[in-house]
């Protein structure tokens, strides 16, 4: 007996021209939003940082807005496109634009690294001092530029693969920018008004071990001072034991 016709999981099913290397690259770029969702979940679970959780919440709200706009505008995709669903605005363009803009706002306006805040680095003088490698503003600006360029590549790939018209991609980018600006201002208000501190004092937040360190903790040195202190302590104990043995 013949079974029912098989369906394609459109979440990862991407049409591209196998004879075109650029089309192949664009097909991989189409998977960036899914990869970012995995990164969000991994970072939230591993770091328990409230800033990452807030950014992911904004990302989901941005996606909800895209879902509503598509069903309100009801503009079809390009005629040569084999996919389903409405095309205005581009969800891929809106997703990556929100992410890149939110990351840029965080790195340039909210993130204030303070590598000197850790007192543990001076607890032991044995061994070389931990180098000060706080990410400079120029480095954070370069990372922001890289995120924006990557978002532009993903957005352009939707046009190249004929999944969206240029207008649909541009509107998606504009919607992503709007959502990122609104969410940054909203979360800034939550911080200034003390709502973030209030939420972190709730029992569920304590049980989940949520924290708010990444705003001031240097992205390069996160955990480095703690590791160096532990390493110096271990070396000091080994040298003390060696001296006693001699």
Per-residue pLDDT of 35-45, as tens digits, reads 999 999 998 89
Place of tokens 């995120």: 147
Predicted TM-score (pTM) of the model is 0.78
Q: How far apart are CA 152 and CA 173, in angstroms?
A: 9
List Cα–Cα distances, 146 to 9, 18, 150, in angstroms: 31, 28, 6
Token output for 164: 């969206």
Decide: residue 102, CB within 10 A, 0-12 exposed, 13-18 middle, 19+ buried: buried
Per-residue pLDDT tens listing for the chain (246 residues): 566 776 666 667 778 788 888 888 888 888 999 899 999 999 889 888 899 999 999 999 999 999 999 998 888 888 776 557 778 899 999 999 999 999 999 988 988 776 554 444 333 333 443 444 456 778 888 989 999 999 999 999 988 888 888 999 999 999 999 999 999 999 999 999 989 889 888 888 888 888 888 887 776 666 677 777 888 888 877 766 766 655
Per-residue pLDDT of 5-46, as tens digits, reads 766 666 677 787 888 888 888 888 889 998 999 999 998 898
């Amino acid at each position: 007996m013949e079974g029912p016709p098989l369906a394609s999981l459109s979440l990862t099913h991407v049409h591209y021209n196998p004879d075109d290397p650029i089309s192949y690259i664009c097909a991989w770029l189409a998977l960036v939003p899914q990869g970012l969702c995995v990164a969000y979940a991994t970072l939230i679970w591993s770091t328990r940082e409230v800033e990452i959780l807030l950014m992911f919440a904004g990302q989901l709200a941005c996606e909800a807005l895209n879902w509503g706009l598509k069903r309100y505008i009801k503009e079809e995709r390009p005629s040569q496109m084999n996919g389903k669903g409405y095309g205005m605005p581009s969800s891929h363009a809106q997703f990556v634009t929100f992410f890149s803009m939110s990351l840029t706002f965080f790195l340039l306006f909210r993130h204030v690294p303070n590598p000197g805040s850790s007192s543990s680095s001076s607890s032991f003088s044995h061994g070389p001092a931990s180098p000060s490698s706080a990410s400079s503003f120029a480095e954070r600006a370069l990372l922001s530029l890289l995120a924006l360029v990557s978002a532009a590549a993903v957005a352009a790939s939707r046009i190249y693969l004929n999944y969206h018209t240029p207008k649909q991609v541009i509107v998606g980018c504009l919607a992503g920018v709007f959502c990122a600006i609104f969410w940054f201002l909203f979360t800034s208000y939550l911080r200034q008004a003390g709502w973030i501190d209030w939420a972190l004092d709730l029992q569920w937040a304590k049980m989940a071990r949520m924290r708010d360190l990444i705003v001031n903790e240097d992205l390069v040195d996160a955990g480095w001072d703690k590791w160096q202190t532990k390493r110096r302590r271990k070396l000091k104990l080994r040298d003390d034991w060696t001296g006693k043995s001699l």
